[in-house]
Amino acid sequence: MSMFRAKKLDLGCFTNIKIIRDHSKRKAYEAAEAERQALRYVIRNTTLPARTRAIAQLQLTQMHCYTRPTQIRNRCILGGKGRGILSDFKMSRYNFRLQALAGNLPGVKKASW
């Protein structure tokens, strides 16, 4: 959603629309995290009246989908791919292989025995 997008591109890695979208979702989640956690607390607290908890449930489900943490997906910072990502290196498996063989990743070495 364009209202969550930065007015000026603030990414220094490979960019395509999927990366920009994911980045906006991450920022939206960061902004709304405190509110989400507060609502989650009210929902889980069984000592509160049932009505309050039901209202909190409704409010949580009615928040924008961009503020949901489950919308966030790790993507490759070199090619934008969404599958086969090594989260330690934020790279897809093929880009990881290329970078590792080129010696750009400190401490990574091809196994041989």
Partner 1 sequence: MSVPRARLLALMKAQCQLFSTTYNPEGVRTGNKILRQRLRGPALASYYPRKVMSFRDFQDEFRALELEVEDDDELDRLEHVAALKARGKGTPKKGKDRDKKKK
**Under the rule (CB under 8 A), what is the footprint of partner 1?**
9-13, 19, 22-23, 26-27, 29-31, 33-34, 37, 40-47, 69, 72, 74, 77, 90
Taking the complex as a whole, the smallest distance from the CB of residue 31 to partner 1 amounts, in Å, to: 8
The residue behind tokens 């603030």 is 10
Taking the complex as a whole, the smallest distance from the CB of residue 18 to partner 1 amounts, in Å, to: 12
Residue number, 53 or 93, with CB nearest to partner 1: 53
User: How far, in Å, are 35, 43, 87 from residue 51 at the CA level?
Assistant: 19, 10, 41
Q: Which amino acid is at 18?
A: K
Residue number, 74 or 98, with CB nearest to partner 1: 74
Residue number, 49 or 109, with CB nearest to partner 1: 49
- The vertex-83 CA angle with 88 and 36, nearest 5°, equals 75
User: How far, in Å, are 1, 44, 94 from residue 29 at the CA level?
Assistant: 13, 20, 29
Residue number, 60 or 100, with CB nearest to partner 1: 60
